[in-house]
Chain A
Amino acid sequence: MSVRPVTVRYAGYALALIAALILPHIIYPVLALNIIVWGLFAVAVDLLLGFSGLLSFGHAAFWGSAAYAAGIAATRGGVSFPVAVLIGTLVAILLAIPIGYLSIRRQGIYFAMVTLAFAQMIYFVINQWRSVTGGENGIQGIPRTLLGLDLSSATTFYYAALPLALIGYVFAFRVVHSPFGHVLVAIRDNETRARALGYPTHRYKLIGFVISASLAGLGGSIYALGQRLADLEYARWTTSGLAVIMTILGGVGTLWGGVIGAVVVLLLRDWLTTRPELFGVATGGVFAVIVLGFRRGILGTALHWYRSGRPDAPIRRRGLAAARPDPTTVPRVKPEKGGR
Chain B
Amino acid sequence: MDGLHATNERDLGRKGLTRRTFLGGIAASAAAAILAACGSGSATSTSAPAATATKAAGAAATTAPTTAAAATAAPTGATAAVTKPAGSAAASVVASKGPAKLSDGKLVLAVLNDQSGVYADISGKNTTKLVKQAVDDFMAKYGKDVFGGTVEVIEADHQNKPDVAGQKANEFYDRNQADVILDVPTSSCGLAVAAVAKAKKKMYINVGSATTELNGAQCNKYTFHYAYDTFMLANGTAPLVTKTLGKKWYLVYPDYAFGQDMVKSFTDAITKSGGTVVGTDPSPFPSSGDFSSYLLKVQSAKPDIVGSMHAGGDVVNFVKQYNEFKLRDQKINLAIGLLFDSDIKALGPDAFQGITYTTAWLWTLDDQSRAWADMAKKVIGVRPTFAHAGNYSAAWQYMDAIRRAGTDDPDTVVKELEGHQFNDFFARNATIRKEDHALIHDIYIAQVKPLKENSEEGDYSKILGTTPGKDAFKPDGATGCTISA
Contacts and interface: CB of A to CB of B under 8 A. Distances in A.
B485 interface: no
B88 to A, nearest CB: 33
Given A140-B192, A274-B157, A152 B199 contact: yes
A185 B10 contact: yes
B18 A16 contact: no
Contacts of A299: 23-24, 27
B169 to A, nearest CB: 10
B162 A229 contact: yes
B188 A15 contact: no
Interface in A1-16: 1, 3-6, 8-9, 11-16
Interface string B167-208: 110110011000000000001100110111011000000000
A171 interface: no
Contacts of A134: 257
Contacts of A83: none
Nearest to B196: A228
A136 B257 contact: yes
Contact of A137 (B38, B155, B157, B191): B191
A173 to B, nearest CB: 9
Contact of A28 (B12, B32, B174): B174
A23 interface: yes
Mostly, the B contact residues are helix
B31 interface: yes
B217 to A, nearest CB: 10
A127 B28 contact: no
A8 B23 CA distance: 9
Contacts of A3: 15, 18
A269 B38 contact: no
Contact of A12 (B15, B24, B196): B24
Contacts, number: 221
A158 interface: no
A15 B158 contact: no
Given A26-B35, A274-B157, A233 B163 contact: yes
Given A27-B36, A177-B17, A190-B3, A9 B256 contact: no
A20 B32 CA distance: 9
A123 to B, nearest CB: 10
A274 B23 CA distance: 32
Contacts of B171: 28, 30-31
A19 interface: yes
B125 interface: yes
Interface in B25-66: 25-29, 31-32, 34-36, 38-43
Interface residues of B, number: 74
Nearest to B43: A274
Nearest to B36: A26
B161 to A, nearest CB: 6
Nearest to B32: A19
A250 B17 CA distance: 16
A147 interface: no
B342 interface: no
B285 A136 contact: yes
A23 B162 contact: no
Contact of A232 (B116, B158, B188): B188
Contacts of B35: 23, 26-27, 263, 267
A285 to B, nearest CB: 15
Contact of A9 (B17, B157, B195, B199): B17
A85 B187 CA distance: 26
B162 A15 contact: no
Given A138-B162, A260-B31, A190 B23 contact: no
A187 B312 CA distance: 49
A273 B168 contact: yes
Contact of A260 (B9, B27, B161): B27
Nearest to B165: A229
B211 A137 contact: yes
B145 interface: no
A4 B22 contact: yes
Given A231-B162, A306-B19, A16 B10 contact: no
A12 B2 CA distance: 33
A9 B22 contact: yes
Nearest to A236: B286
10 contacts: A22-B32, A136-B257, A140-B191, A186-B3, A193-B2, A228-B196, A273-B159, A274-B156, A275-B43, A306-B23
Top 4 nearest A-B pairs (CB, nearest first) are A12-B25, A15-B25, A27-B39, A141-B195
Given A138-B162, A185-B13, A263-B35, 19 more contacts: A9-B22, A12-B22, A19-B25, A19-B29, A23-B35, A26-B36, A28-B171, A31-B171, A140-B191, A154-B170, A154-B174, A189-B5, A233-B163, A259-B24, A267-B34, A267-B38, A269-B164, A270-B41, A273-B157
Interface of A: 1, 3-6, 8-9, 11-16, 18-20, 22-23, 26-28, 30-31, 34, 127, 130, 134-138, 140-141, 152, 154, 177, 182, 185-186, 189-190, 193, 223, 227-229, 231-234, 254-256, 259-260, 263, 267, 269-277, 279, 298-299, 302-303, 306-307, 327
